[in-house]
Amino acid sequence: MKLLYNENQGIVSMKRARYSLLVITMVATLISGVSATHPQGPGEDCDYFVETDCHVCGEFLDFFEAQGAIEVFGYPLTDAFHDPELGLEVQYFQRARMELLPQSSGSHRVRLGALVEELDYHFPKSTTEPTNALSGNVQRYFPETGYTVSHAFLDYFRDHGGEGLFGYPLSDLMFADGYVVQYFEHVRMEWHPEAFPSPQVRLSNLGELYIERFGVPRDADPLRGRIDTPSSTMTSRTQITQLNIDASVRHVISGQEGFQTVFIYVTDQRGQPIQGASVEMDVHHHSGARNYEFAPTDESGFTNHRFEIFPAPPGRKVVIDVTAVYDDLTGRTQTFFLPWW
């Protein structure tokens, strides 16, 4: 398995671990009793998870076990229930939402929900195809979205169901929450170098994040508990206590001349996009650093800037330090690219 270089790599802090445990406990406490309009009770075709007091049954259980179980999906956060907004039977797990398609047949009756889009992660479609020099077993280009999956992420993608499970890639590699990540239609993958020799690619807990932000449908019958969070795409200015910055480049490996584009996505402590954040970056070429200012982030929290690549020795990393400012808050992150040919 190839390694991905992570400038911000490090051991997950105890604070983050405690937060994850708190979210699981809170979700389990509030919605462990969620049952469907037509609930699935315990039976021979169910597995019970004492960790969250939930059952996985029937076709959801078959799909869960066939596609990687806890390693891929994490623990169930609800029992199965009918979602009146989607018009489907669904079940939430730590890292995904399963949906039952009654009109489909066979292995296509269960799919994963599009949580990445529903959580407002949007990325511009790439239009650059990889060169022949970069093609091969270490990467795969997807013309459907214009992005490439490579190295350890590609190994995980292939080993766990590919586009049939995860959907197509929606972003390049980027830094988020201290890790190298990549977004797909249904999941976000994270590179955890500290996990060696255990699997170092994991899925983000998007199921937890969705329930924390939106709860579950109000008219799912009955609900004994619910997490109520704002459903608007912008959090009030007075509520913003933290800036999170995702930074990515259009070409992770580039030519020694031409242009590079840096994409920035700024969110608050709840993952909500922040409009109007000021962003600048310092691009550290071998001959010195150059500073660039971005346009303020738009209503989706996005901004980008295109700049000329200065000639550099092949394989010498160009580090990009990004700073975002909103009111009295400042956030920083880092990304990079490799001029090669």
Residues 341, 338: Cα–Cα separation, whole Å: 9
**Does residue 82 have a pLDDT over 70?**
yes
Note the pLDDT tens digit of each residue in 110-141.
999 999 988 888 777 665 555 544 556 778 88
What average pLDDT score do residues 88-111 get? 88
Q: What is the dihedral of CA 152, 311, 264, 135, to 10 degrees?
A: -30
Higher pLDDT, 79 or 15: 79
How many helical (H) and strand (E) elements, i.e. helices and strands, does the chain have?
Answer: 7, 20
Percentage of the chain exceeding pLDDT 90: 29
Q: Which residue has the tokens 């901004």?
A: 303
Note the pLDDT tens digit of each residue in 145-204.
888 898 889 999 998 889 989 999 998 888 777 788 899 999 999 988 777 776 789 899
- Of the candidates 206, 214, 245, the residue with the CA atom closest to the CA atom of residue 116: 206
**What pTM value is reported for the model?**
0.57
Residues 158, 39: Cα–Cα separation, whole Å: 34
Residues 26, 33: Cα–Cα separation, whole Å: 13
**Does residue 251 have a pLDDT over 90?**
no
Residues 82, 52: Cα–Cα separation, whole Å: 20
What SS3 class is residue 220? Answer: coil
Higher pLDDT, 9 or 240: 240
pLDDT score, position 121: 83
Q: Which domains does the chain have, with CATH numbers?
A: 14-118+203-214 (no CATH), 132-201 (no CATH), 237-339 (2.60.40.1930)
pLDDT score, position 285: 82
Question: Could you give the C-alpha distances from 78 to 14, 112, 185, 292, in angstroms and in order?
Answer: 26, 15, 22, 46
